[in-house]
Amino acid sequence: MTKDYAEKRASLAAKCRRALPEPGEAEKKLDARIAALREELRAELGGQIPGSLPVLWDEKLRESGLYALCRALPKGADLHLHSIAVLPPDELIDFLAARRDVVVGTLAEERGKLYLASDRLGAEDGRMELAHALEIDELTRAELRELWSVTGRAPDEGIWDWFEKLFDRHMSLGTSPAVLGDYYRAAFRYLRENGVCHAELRHLFFGSKEDARAAAEAIREAYYEVRREFPDFSARVLGAGLKYRHLPQDITDMLMENALYAHETVKDEFDPASPEEFVVGIDLVNEEDASRPLGEYEEMLALLRARWPEMRLSLHAGESHEPESDNLIDALLLGAQRVGHGLNLYRRPALLDAYRDAGVTLEVCPMSNQTLGYVPDLRAHPAVEYFRRGVDMVLASDDPAYQEITPLTDDFFAAAACWGFGAAELKQLAVNSLRRAFVGEARKAELVAAFERAWEEFAARVG
């Protein structure tokens, strides 16, 4: 390669990269370390890093130096989590085996489904405390792991059909404030142990308005307890509505009304001198291709935003196999500050530019996108181009427990291994997640400052 050709090549390649802050010496060493570990992994895998990363099932991936680095990496915020899909199956088994207020179904279609103990039907209902079911081998840990994650899906069963069964099996966890509070004491600690310092949950507020308030208070008290242990941790909740075509609209209306009541009545008063909102926004969820178009919710969202202008909007859009889906257009027009997934922006270049210019943040969930069949090869994930073109984006984990992934660790690993991202890109994604969190500016500044300190220490230690 001639010197002239090499210079032209380097110049053109630089234009294809996103301009990022100039790294310090420690960060340059960390970047070199990431590159070396990526090449080490490539060699270990026979010369090519695969586009499919079943991390928890592949020993070479899980035990690689690059994965260990990503596990220890400070990761910022996880802004896209679904409420009862955080604790992994093994930890959920331990959590429930110690309880008497939750029972598990053992018969036919109810097998592995959770119920509140008060919902037992009678002696022959097949529902029993989990500890007892494990003790008598009515259920085993291995079977529960399959019943409670994507590993149990039959090859001929649609992934979303199985996925909805997982939510159905665990739905009762979100209906008891006592269970929900204890669940999130464990879940928040689990997230913090994995380098997540801020979490934002989508929660379905079923029941009455008072039920919604009690659920929000239970999550808030769990957050308070974990924040006392980890002052750099915080959490917020987004109320979620269901938009499946077969569901009556009044169900989403009820969920939204409950979320708004929780928003009005439950505040983050951890620091009494500067209270903040705790239920900070709303979302509309479900499998996109089986749901009503977002445009149908224009009136509802306009009325809601007019009455509660402080409520933030993060909408699922672009997680679709349908090339003609217009949900990404609607999400922009409806005023979403953040969009969950946004995969299909590559189909509409002008819309991609509009997202970038409007500063709408994409909550990109690479491992979830692969698990659910939207991006079989992570090396071809469109988010790489979005990042290079200046679209604001963060990494998020979606439903980590059900998908057998470690929150954010696996997503950052995908970015480092499959996208070729180095220290500067990974840091930018983490900082973005904190700057786009739905918290007050003072708290946001605290989170960013704590992250910067953790990142500098990590870079100095690992690089």
Q: What is the mean pLDDT of the chain?
A: 93
Q: Are residues 26 and 456 in contact, defined by beta-carbon separation less than 8 angstroms?
A: yes
C-alpha separations of 204 from 7, 215, 379, 399 in Å: 55, 10, 34, 14
Q: pLDDT tens for residues 207-259?
A: 999 999 999 999 999 999 999 999 999 999 999 999 999 889 899 999 999 99
Q: Are residues 191 and 78 in contact, defined by beta-carbon separation less than 8 angstroms?
A: yes
Secondary element (H or E) of residue 43: helix 25-44
Q: pLDDT tens for residues 76-90?
A: 999 999 989 999 999
Q: CB atoms < 10 A from the CB of 43, how many?
A: 10
In this structure, the dihedral spanned by the alpha carbons of residues 336, 338, 339 and 341, taken in order and rounded to 10 degrees, is 180
Residue 396 φ/ψ, nearest 5 degrees: -145, 165
Q: How far apart are CA 5 and CA 13, in angstroms?
A: 12
Predicted TM-score (pTM) of the model is 0.94
Chain centroid to CA 166: 16
Contact residues for 345 (Cβ-Cβ < 8 A; gap 6+): 318, 328, 351, 352, 355, 362, 382, 386, 391
Q: Are residues 146 and 69 in contact, defined by beta-carbon separation less than 8 angstroms?
A: no
Q: How far apart are CA 78 and CA 57, in angstroms?
A: 23
Length of the chain: 463
Per-residue model confidence (pLDDT) at position 31: 93
Give me 432's structure tokens. 């973005």
Q: pLDDT tens for residues 404-456?
A: 899 999 999 999 999 999 999 999 999 999 999 999 999 999 999 999 999 99
For each of the domains in the chain, give its residue range(s) and CATH number, in order of start: 71-88+184-454 (3.20.20.140), 102-161 (no CATH)
